[in-house]
Every structure is written in C-alpha cells, then in structure tokens.
Amino acid sequence: MKKNLFLIAVALVFATTQLSAVTTLIHYWNFNSVSPKLKAAKDVVSFPIPAFAADQSVSSASLIYQAIPGTASPYSTYCDSVLFTTGTGNPVNMRGTDAAGLGLRFRNPSDKMQLILNIPSTGYNNIIISYDIQRSSAANGAATNTFFYSTDNGTNWKNSTNSGLLSKDTIQTSPNWNFKTVSITDPAANNNSNLLFKIQFTGGQNTGTSGNNRIDNITVEGTAIGITAAIEESQLTKEITMTSKTGVVIFSEACDAVVYNVQGKQVKSVAKTTNLLTSDLDNGLYIVRINCSISKKLIIE
C-alpha cells in the first residue's frame, strides 16, 4: 500500500503533550571489525570461541558463542563472519554512519549452541535488545530464536517458562532480513551490573551441516536513571524545515536526525544529510529530532 507522509504544525496539535523518556544506546555490535580469525569464510574457530567486545559501549559489554554446557559436539563451535557488500544486509538497526560490512554467521548444527551477551545496565532501566536476523534459506538455518536473561551473571536463567519477565520469549527467523526486538520487563534487570541475555537457536532446521543464522547490528538500549530526557512540544522551533514526498523526508539543509516512535524509542537515525528515507517505517506517528534541538511531528499512512 502506498504510504503518505504528513508533517504537522506541532504548535497546534498536542501542545502540552510529553512523550515517554527517550531511550539511549548503551551497547552496540556491528561486527565490522571482528577478529581476523573470523574474516576467512568457513573458518573453523577453535573452542572456546573468544568473546567479542561491543563496538560501542557506555561501560563494558561483550558476547560469546558457546556450547550449551555438556551437550554440544566440537563441530557445533563452527562460526564465521559473512561479508555484506554495499546494498546487501539489513540497514534497519544500523546506527550512526555505519555501512553494511561484516556480520556473524552461526552455522548448523546450532541446536546445542547459545549466544550470550554480557550487557551491564548500570545507570539504566527499561532494557531493550534489538538486532537484524536472516536465515540462510527456507529449508536451512534455525527457524526460531529463543530468549533468556539472567540478573545474577548466569547463575539462573529466566523467561516466561520459569517466572521470567520478557516482552517475548521467541521470534521467527526468515530467509529475508528482519529487525527483531525484545524488552526485559523484570525490574531486577534495571541498573544491574550482572545482566546477561541469551539467544538459543531453536525451532528445527538447526541440525546437519548446512544452513545458518546471520546476525548483525545488535543494540542494547535503556532509559538513563535520574535524567529527564523526554521530548516536549515547547522544544519545537522552525530553524530547519521538512518537506515530504512518498518514502522520503527532505530537510532544508544537511543535518543529523533521529526518529522516535510515540513510545519514545529510537527507530532510525541519519547523519549530515538532507534526505531521510521513511519507506521502511510502519504507518503511524513519529517525532523527528533534528540536531538535538528541533523536534517535528511526522505521520506516515
């Protein structure tokens, strides 16, 4: 369906509305500088696979791909990187000025493997994990990803099967790139230096020696504790104008822009540009924050 874009005179609409606090990027992996050991296609990595430090982090974050204790064969440690040439991969969860580069490819058999993220949330609450995911084909590669979290550095793991609090326990994968997100709604995950998040490769099509799941652009976001970061209508000015065409917003001059949904979650960002593509956004109301000082409303329908 064709999407129409409308820019609203914000001073006349929702004049006293204040949105939810804006989320902050806490940790980010784009894998564009992964270990040289992984840059060779189909490179078998000796067990244990070394941890990857986050490409960006407000503290210290890392992830590791490892066997579920006591279950996996040596071949299950098979992991490599996959090169995303320009125009391929999935740009939905890229941040800043990133370009499509490298991602991680978790090759079958992955049924006894787990990806564990060490994501301290010290100083933040309302933790949200997002990433881009692709299954290698309709017939191969884990059909689902299943989520768990730990608030005690891995001593205990939780999801809804054992009193955990997640927005979802499982997502479907697809041969097409998809953006996936899950929130940890357990208050114990807030402001926690021992927070871990785990992805297991489930749902069938995850055995044998063919097929894989490809993961890129992992982000962890949250709301800074004790900092008021809400968007208020009183902040709106007219220094930079926006005009709209189908699938794109055009600024009157090059600028940095961040798009937030009505929950205050960042869904898109661009830097030093006059064009903001909107064809990948769902219908609805958004706030476009320009140069950290100007806010304008945008409706896509």
pLDDT value at 11 more than 50? no
Q: Which residue has the higher pLDDT, 69 or 187?
A: 187
pLDDT at residue 5, as a whole number: 59
Report, as an integer, the average pLDDT of 7-25: 46
* pTM for the predicted model, two decimal places: 0.69
> Sorting pLDDT into bands at 50, 70 and 90, what band is 39?
very low
Report, as an integer, the average pLDDT of 23-39: 75
Task: Name the DSSP class of 73.
Answer: -
Lowest pLDDT segment from 47-61, 119-133, 188-202 = 47-61
Domains and CATH numbers, the chain: 5-21+230-300 (2.60.40.3080), 24-224 (2.60.120.260)
Q: What six digits make up the tokens of 97? A: 């000025």
> Sorting pLDDT into bands at 50, 70 and 90, what band is 175?
very high
Q: Which residue has the higher pLDDT, 9 or 52?
A: 52
pLDDT at residue 74, as a whole number: 56
Q: 125 exposed, middle or buried (CB, 10 Å; 0-12, 13-18, 19+)?
A: middle
Q: Which residue has the higher pLDDT, 153 or 70?
A: 153
pLDDT value at 283 more than 70? yes
Closest CA to 201 of 159, 275, 148, 273: 148
Q: What six digits make up the tokens of 26? A: 């806490």
pLDDT at residue 115, as a whole number: 93
pLDDT tens sequence across 215-272:
999 999 998 886 443 433 333 344 577 776 678 888 888 888 888 776 667 788 888 8
Per cent of the chain over pLDDT 70 is: 72
Lowest pLDDT segment from 125-134, 184-193, 208-217, 285-294 = 285-294
Phi, psi of 240 (to 5 degrees): -120, 130
Q: What six digits make up the tokens of 43? A: 């490179």
pLDDT value at 159 more than 70? yes
Task: Give the separation between CA 99 and CA 90, rounded to whole angstroms.
Answer: 10
pLDDT at residue 197, as a whole number: 98
> Sorting pLDDT into bands at 50, 70 and 90, what band is 43?
very low
Report, as an integer, the average pLDDT of 154-158: 97
Lowest pLDDT segment from 24-33, 145-154, 222-231, 266-275 = 222-231
Give the E-state strand segments of 124-241 in sequence order. Answer: 124-135, 144-150, 170-172, 178-184, 196-202, 212-224
Mean residue pLDDT of the chain comes to 78
H helical segments located in 125-272: none
Task: Give the separation between CA 190 and CA 194, rounded to whole angstroms.
Answer: 10
pLDDT at residue 19, as a whole number: 37
pLDDT at residue 215, as a whole number: 92
> Sorting pLDDT into bands at 50, 70 and 90, what band is 160?
very high
> Sorting pLDDT into bands at 50, 70 and 90, what band is 16?
very low
Buried (b) or exposed (e) across 15-24, using 16+ Cβ within 10 A? eeeebbbbbb
**Torsion of Cα atoms, 296 then 221 then 108 then 158, to 10°:** -130
Q: Which residues pair with 8 in a beta bridge?
A: 297
pLDDT value at 15 more than 60? no
pLDDT tens sequence across 66-121:
888 877 665 555 667 676 655 455 567 887 767 677 888 888 888 988 999 999 99
User: Dihedral sign, CA of 194, 189, 265, 179?
Assistant: positive
